[in-house]
Amino acid sequence: MKKIILITTVLLATLTIQAQTTLSKVYNEEINPNEQIDIALNKAKQMDKFVVCQVGGNWCPWCLRFADFITNDSIISKVIEDNFIYIHVNYNPRQTGDEIKAQQAAMMKRLGNPGRFGYPVFVILDGEGRVVHIQDSSFLEEGKGYNQEKVLRFFRNWTPAAVRGKEL
């Protein structure tokens, strides 16, 4: 009887911990990714900012971890808010349907075929939609998460001012 109670307690504790650590799904799987990028570019151009496309999907735990990481870090959030329009661009290599596959292929070509780096991958676009930089996220990782110093360095080195030679 004691073993049953112990096992039940351990299982409940495990389920509680997993429920508390569930990451929010941040990718809109219904929107056309090219339209999403166009909307972000219009905002960026008006605000003299760049666009960061975090390409990945709700299927990707590292994508959700990164979204959670930057949301919960006030320093990184401030750098992003001041310099970028940040969007989560859904890409699912397992999608079916000719129209969706065509949209995704066009989006990946438009972004410089960043999937070669794995997911998430970050594509920085200037206000005209030109690819300024593609960032492999593995260089920002540390353990089962991300390194604040590396992430800050990445974002700060690709701000509009930094790219234009006004700051580093």
Three-class SS state of 3 = helix
Q: Which CATH number goes with the domain that contains 102? A: 3.40.30.10
Question: Could you tell me the strand order of the sheet in which 84-90 lies?
Answer: 84-90, 50-56, 121-125, 131-136
Q: Is residue 11 in some structural domain?
A: no
Q: Is residue 41, in this structure, part of any structural domain at all?
A: yes
Q: What are 108-162's pLDDT values in tens digits?
A: 999 999 999 999 999 999 999 999 999 999 999 999 999 999 999 999 999 999 9
pLDDT given at position 7: 57
146 within some domain: yes
In a domain, 4, yes or no: no
Report if residue 37 sits inside a domain: yes
Q: Which domain holds residue 158?
A: 24-163
pLDDT tens digits, residue range 33-82? 999 999 999 999 999 999 999 999 999 999 999 999 999 999 999 999 99
- Count CB-CB contacts under 10 A for residue 7: 10
Amino acid 20: pLDDT: 39
- Is-contact 124 133, C-beta < 8 A? yes
| Span 14-33, average pLDDT | 74
Q: What are phi and psi of 51, to 5 degrees?
A: -105, 135
- Domain-located, residue 6: no
Residue 38 lies in a domain: yes
**Number of domains making up the chain:** 1
Gap between the Cα atoms of 25 and 41, Å rounded:
23
Contact 162, 126 (CB under 8 A): no
- For residue 81, being part of any structural domain is answered with yes
What is the reported pLDDT for 9? 56
